[in-house]
């Protein structure tokens, strides 16, 4: 009974966190630093993946300044309508942009062929490049999950299949690149199922999942393997080292 209460409490905390909002404009970059735009929702802000990205980069000698608008459950369409999200995009001067749609939207695009999903991505990308010419834009391929009825797709496997197909097609048609976060999750879970990448709601990222996502995006920016003593960001050092190795293999093929 006690364990059930603890589990329910943890799920409630995750659910409340999923409806937060975070708005931030980037600070002045240090010489050689980069500016990163993050547009997304709880699959970015739960456990602070953007903060981890900065911490990891700093430990590797790279200054990253982040501009962001993150709001629970937001689709790209809702971001286009939100003044704070538009302000974060319009601030400009970004070198990289990581765009994260509502978690199952790309899967529904694959299954239902909803053209609105693709058109919203195209418009958001256009807005990013208008304010940040030369910015490298990435569509995040997030992870599949069983919670919340697999985002309306029924099963985790079905969600995974449509996520892969939907993101690939969206990226190709909008001429953006893919951040293969979901591929890293799948690889890590296959090797070490004891490392829990999802929280108690079986939906949002755990601390370890957030760290893996941050590692993937860091490697996309630098295209170089980790060196020295990378930040663990509160993750068990042995687990963090494992997750970094998975991220390197996923992004760099090493």
* pTM, full prediction: 0.92
Treating both helix axes as pointing N-terminal to C-terminal, what angle do 83-91 and 115-131 enclose, rounded to 10 degrees? 40
Please give the structure tokens belonging to residue 2: 């006690």
| Phi then psi dihedrals of residue 23, to 5 deg | -125, 135
Nearest to 72 by CA among 121, 38, 23, 21: 21
According to the 3-state scheme, what is the secondary structure of 154-223? CCHHHHHHHHHHHHHHHHHHHCCEEECHHHHHHHHHHHCCCCCCECCCCCCECHHHHHHHHHHHHHHHHC
Topology at the third CATH level for domain 2-252: Rossmann fold (3.40.50)
pLDDT in tens, the chain (254 residues): 433 333 444 444 445 455 689 999 999 988 999 999 999 999 999 999 999 999 999 999 999 999 999 999 999 999 999 999 999 999 999 999 999 999 999 999 999 988 999 999 999 999 999 999 999 999 999 999 998 888 899 999 999 999 999 999 999 999 999 999 999 999 999 999 999 999 999 999 999 999 999 999 999 999 999 999 999 999 999 999 999 999 999 999 98
């Amino acid at each position: 009974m006690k364990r059930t209460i603890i589990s329910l409490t943890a799920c409630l905390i995750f659910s409340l966190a999923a409806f937060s909002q975070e708005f931030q404009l980037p600070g002045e970059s240090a010489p050689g630093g980069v500016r990163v735009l993050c547009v997304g929702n709880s699959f970015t802000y739960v456990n602070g993946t953007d903060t981890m990205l900065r911490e990891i980069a700093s430990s590797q000698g790279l200054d990253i300044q982040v501009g962001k608008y993150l709001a629970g459950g937001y689709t790209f369409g809702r971001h286009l309508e939100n003044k704070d999200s538009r302000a974060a995009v319009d601030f400009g001067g970004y070198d990289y942009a990581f765009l994260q749609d509502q978690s199952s939207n790309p899967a529904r695009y694959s299954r239902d062929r909803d053209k609105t999903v693709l058109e919203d991505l195209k418009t958001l990308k256009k807005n990013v490049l208008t304010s940040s010419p030369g910015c490298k834009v990435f569509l995040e391929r997030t992870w599949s999950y069983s919670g919340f009825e697999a985002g309306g797709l029924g099963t985790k496997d079905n969600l995974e299949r449509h996520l892969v197909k939907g993101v690939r097609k969206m990226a190709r048609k909008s001429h953006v690149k893919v951040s293969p976060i979901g591929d890293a999750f799948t690889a890590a879970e296959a090797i070490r199922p004891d490392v829990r990448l999802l929280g108690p709601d079986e939906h949002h990222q755990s601390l370890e999942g957030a760290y893996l996502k941050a590692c993937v995006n860091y490697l996309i920016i630098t295209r170089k393997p980790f060196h020295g003593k990378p930040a663990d960001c509160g993750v068990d050092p042995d687990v963090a080292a494992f997750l970094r190795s998975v991220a390197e293999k996923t992004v760099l093929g090493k």
